[in-house]
């Protein structure tokens, strides 16, 4: 969620609430003979308010599970989750009197620190990453469909290469109009002798086969492309440029399409990486939050009872 001017009220409200809590804390801490602590009246107030905020923040998950609930807009819940969750950690620190305690309370403080930091990281990522993703990945697709799209790209590439084989081996019936037109020309391109007409060029066919099977197919088949030569746009462009020189002009459009497919594959790989960054923190934040809520409830019961 982008933190824009629509958050202003929440932001100001949170800061004011936090400032009040800190201002109240100073005289409370000084006047407490034993110092500030969770067991004092003020400590219990801080703890109760913070725990209420934590529960509200935790209810965001339930709210998302049932989007048809008419309990306020999802964006409002998200803002509440963000800002009340943000304020709850300092309140808990005030509740504890800046002590981590021992045993359960120590674990709770560390757990909350993990939830808080992961939440801050997540909020920052959610603010910046979507725009970056949109700018850098024009062919963005649904993350869960990336595997399916990759398979489709593979099928498309195989189809293109099969067409090219057919052309190189004289099967004109599979050639399209552009390939037929290109087949009329022959001679020299850029100082290199290129295949002409519909002649069978075994060497070109071998080069195409080698390039496709050796580079393109593994690249497309691989989920993610770390370390692959085609994952680098510049190197990929150079390789495709070289491939064009080895193939007759009537197949250059096929090479362009293959290069375009690889480009799209690079983009969805990048999208997958961005997605893992953009949502990976949730793998820490959500489980830790559940654990925090459960142990927090246990702590509240234990502390109030004893």
Partner 1 sequence: MLRRIRTTKKLAKRMDLQYFTQPHPFRSWRLWLSVLVPVVAVVWFAALRAHGQKVYSSGPLSKSHAVFAKRCDVCHVTTLGFFRAKVSDSACLKCHDAPAHQIDRVAFTPACGSCHLEHKGSLRLASTADSSCTQCHADLHTRTGSPQYVREISDFDNEHPEFAVLRPGGKDPGQVKLNHYAHLRPNLPGPDGPVQMDCQDCHRLTGMEGNWPYAAQTMPPLKPVTAGASADMRPSRSRDYMSPILYATQCAGCHVKDLQFDKRFEQSAPHDKPEVVQAFLLQKYSEYFASHPGALSEPVAPERILPGKFKLPLPVPHNRQEWMDQQVMLADRLLFDKGCKLCHVMIETNAPLPTVAPSSIPARWLLHADFSHNSHRLLTCVACHNRTPESRETADILLPGVASCRSCHQERGPKQDAASGNCSECHSYHDWKREQPIKGKYLIPQLQAAR
Which residues contact partner 1 by CB under 8 A?
A: 31, 33-34, 37-39, 101-105, 107, 111, 139, 141-145, 148-149, 152, 156, 178, 252-253, 256-257, 260-261, 275-276, 279, 282-283, 286-288, 290-291, 294-295, 298-299, 302-303, 305-306
Instruction: Indicate the residue among 3 and 303 with the shorter CB distance to partner 1.
Output: 303
Instruction: Check if the beta carbon of residue 296 is closer than 8 Å to that of residue 95.
Output: no
In the complex, minimum distance from the CB of residue 107 to partner 1, in angstroms, rounded to a whole number? 7
CA–CA gap between residue 119 and residue 107 (Å, rounded): 18
Reported residue count of the chain is 306
The CA-to-CA distance between both ends of the chain, in Å, stands at 41
Residues near 27 by beta carbon (within 8 Å), at least 6 away in sequence:
none
DSSP 8-state symbol, 227:
T
In the complex, minimum distance from the CB of residue 10 to partner 1, in angstroms, rounded to a whole number? 26
Instruction: Indicate the residue among 3 and 154 with the shorter CB distance to partner 1.
Output: 154
CA–CA gap between residue 305 and residue 299 (Å, rounded): 10
Instruction: Indicate the residue among 18 and 113 with the shorter CB distance to partner 1.
Output: 113
| Residue reference for tokens 């409830």 | 297
In the complex, minimum distance from the CB of residue 292 to partner 1, in angstroms, rounded to a whole number? 8
Strands 187-189 and 192-194: antiparallel
Instruction: Check if the beta carbon of residue 186 is closer than 8 Å to that of residue 194.
Output: yes
In the complex, minimum distance from the CB of residue 276 to partner 1, in angstroms, rounded to a whole number? 8
Instruction: Check if the beta carbon of residue 36 is closer than 8 Å to that of residue 25.
Output: yes
In the complex, minimum distance from the CB of residue 265 to partner 1, in angstroms, rounded to a whole number? 12
CA dihedral of 300, 302, 305, 306, whole degrees rounded to 10:
-130
Instruction: Indicate the residue among 10 and 251 with the shorter CB distance to partner 1.
Output: 251
Instruction: Check if the beta carbon of residue 240 is closer than 8 Å to that of residue 255.
Output: yes
Instruction: Check if the beta carbon of residue 268 is closer than 8 Å to that of residue 145.
Output: no
3-state secondary structure at position 190: coil
Instruction: Indicate the residue among 40 and 225 with the shorter CB distance to partner 1.
Output: 40
In the complex, minimum distance from the CB of residue 15 to partner 1, in angstroms, rounded to a whole number? 30
In the complex, minimum distance from the CB of residue 177 to partner 1, in angstroms, rounded to a whole number? 11
Instruction: Indicate the residue among 105 and 237 with the shorter CB distance to partner 1.
Output: 105
Instruction: Indicate the residue among 103 and 187 with the shorter CB distance to partner 1.
Output: 103
CA–CA gap between residue 70 and residue 303 (Å, rounded): 35
């Amino acid at each position: 969620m982008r933190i824009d001017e629509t958050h202003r009220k929440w932001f100001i409200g949170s800061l004011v609430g936090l400032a009040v809590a800190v201002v109240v804390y100073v005289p409370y801490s000084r006047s407490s003979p034993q110092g500030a602590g969770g067991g004092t009246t003020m400590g219990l107030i801080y703890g109760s308010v913070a725990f209420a905020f934590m529960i509200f923040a935790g209810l965001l998950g339930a709210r998302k599970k049932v989007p048809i609930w008419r309990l306020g807009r999802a964006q409002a819940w998200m803002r509440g989750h963000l800002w009340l969750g943000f304020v709850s950690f300092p309140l808990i620190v005030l509740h504890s009197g800046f002590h981590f305690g021992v045993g359960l309370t120590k674990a709770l403080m560390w757990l909350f620190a993990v939830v808080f930091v992961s939440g801050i990281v997540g909020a920052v990522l959610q603010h910046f990453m979507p725009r970056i993703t949109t700018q850098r990945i024009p062919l963005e697709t649904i993350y869960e469909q990336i595997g399916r799209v990759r398979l489709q790209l593979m099928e498309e590439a195989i189809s293109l290469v099969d067409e090219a084989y057919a052309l190189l081996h004289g099967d004109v019936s599979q050639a399209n109009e552009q390939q037929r037109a290109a087949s009329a020309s022959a001679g020299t391109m850029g100082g290199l002798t290129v295949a002409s007409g519909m002649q069978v060029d075994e060497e070109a066919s071998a080069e195409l086969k080698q390039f496709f099977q050796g580079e393109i197919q593994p690249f497309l088949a691989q989920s993610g492309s770390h370390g692959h030569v085609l994952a680098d746009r510049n190197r990929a462009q150079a390789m495709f440029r070289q491939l064009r020189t080895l193939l007759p002009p009537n197949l250059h459009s096929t090479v362009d399409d293959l290069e375009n497919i690889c480009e799209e594959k690079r983009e969805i790989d990048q999208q997958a990486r961005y997605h893992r960054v953009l949502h990976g923190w949730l793998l820490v934040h959500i489980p830790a939050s559940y654990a925090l809520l459960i142990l927090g409830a246990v702590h509240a019961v234990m502390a109030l009872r004893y």
